[in-house]
Amino acid sequence: MSTEVQKEIELKIAYVLFIDIVGYSKLVTSEQRRLLELLNRIVRESEHFRTAEAKGRLITVPTGDGMALVFYNTPEAPAECALEVSKAAGEHPELKLRIGIHSGPVSGVVDVSGRSNIAGAGINKTRGHSRSPAPVPGSRKRTITSDDRSPRVSVSLNCTVLRQKNV
């Protein structure tokens, strides 16, 4: 295995933003394509996406009905990106999103196409939290909607409280 590929496969802590389109599988193919293209455009135009991508601190993983964005810069990056995407999606009432954010260990892998991909608890839990309709018992998950009158964007945050010790 080459050194370049081996370096990509090391275990790291990542901050994962998972976005999917609600009701995607019930849509006709032309509407699926249109909404996915719209979501892709909105995400690519977000400042935090562009910044992380330009610095080589982002891996994008298409999921069919959305995407996982794996940030390696700061824990705030996926949250800020989610807010940007949510705001832009608000201008398109037909685009209903579910968004999950999680941090955890991930390992880079090379997929069947020879592209970078991600495996590990950090990515698995993100997808599970974003797909869950209600808080998982014992988790600190909270659902936030972009507009209380019309909950179109559901954001699921899995947060760990860190205690600081003064030395």
pLDDT band of 51, cuts 50, 70, 90: very high
> Locate tokens 């990106």: which residue?
81
Instruction: Report the pLDDT value the prediction gives residue 125, as an integer from 0 to 100.
Output: 54
Residue 45 pLDDT greater than 90, yes or no: yes
In this predicted structure, what is the pLDDT of residue 2? 47
Residue 122 DSSP symbol: H
Confidence bin at 27 (pLDDT 50/70/90)? very high
CB neighbourhood size of 121 (10 A): 12
Q: State the pTM of this model.
A: 0.71
| Mean of pLDDT values over 74-98 | 93
* Complete domains list, the chain, with CATH: 3-157 (3.30.70.1230)
SS3 assignment, position 128: helix
Alpha-carbon distance of 158 to 23, in angstroms, equals 23
Q: Residue 166 has what pLDDT?
A: 39
